[in-house]
Amino acid sequence: MPLTVRLEISDLELEHFRSALDGARGRVSRGSPQEIAAAAREAATRLDAGETSPFVKRRLQKVRALAGMLDDPEWQLPEPERRRVLQGLAYVAEAHDLVPDNVPVLGLLDDAIMLELVLHDLRHELEGYEDFDEFRRHERAKPGAAGQHVVSREDWLDARRRALHERIRERRERDVEDHGGGWPLITHF
């Protein structure tokens, strides 16, 4: 029967982990973006191959998505965000982290904490990419769409823009219905 443990990390302890993450980020310049992404993918595969907790496995899938967005020609990640993703992947790519991975039970604890920090720092980039990737899969699955149809970032942005415009229209129509077609009375600012 699995045991759930809630781990609270103090600011002092968190600073230690952030320092290790910053050290890995500082070493980003030692490798090419392709080498860092490949090393992070390799580390995720290695960590995932053993007896890894579901918590770590879910985060390793997200690491693969982060590495994937760097190579995705349809996503075209802008340079500042690209650099942030590379910096986040640098720690995952490190072979020698705080606790060696081959230490039974505890070897992946530091990785789990660091993955959580990296994913928290990159949550906006990751959410955007996952949204784009879902849109792309949906577009490619449409009847009549060629399997190799390129769905660009511009297509995604256009679709998101259309969805926001539609939401604005729906809200406006709802307001008109709610207020009988007139302007709502504003009594204070």
Distance between CA 83 and CA 76 in Å, rounded? 13
Contact of 90 with 27, CB cutoff 8 Å: yes
Place of tokens 């995952």: 92
Q: What is the pLDDT of residues 4-46, one digit of tens each?
A: 778 788 888 888 888 877 777 776 667 788 888 888 888 888 8
Task: State residue 39's pLDDT score.
Answer: 86
Amino acid at 54: P
Q: What are phi and psi of 121, to 5 degrees?
A: -65, -30
Longest dimension (CA), the chain: 69
Task: State residue 163's pLDDT score.
Answer: 85
Amino acid at 79: E
Long-range contacts, stretch 135-142, CB < 8 angstroms, 24+ apart? 135/159, 136/74
Domain ranges (residues) in the chain: 11-138, 152-178
Q: What is the pLDDT of residues 127-186, one digit of tens each?
A: 888 888 888 888 888 777 655 567 787 888 888 888 888 888 888 788 778 766 555 554
Task: State residue 159's pLDDT score.
Answer: 87
Task: State residue 147's pLDDT score.
Answer: 56
Task: State residue 182's pLDDT score.
Answer: 55
Which of 176, 157, 154, 175 lies closest to 165, judged by CA? 157
**What are the helix (H) ranges across the chain?**
11-26, 33-49, 54-71, 79-93, 109-121, 123-141, 153-178
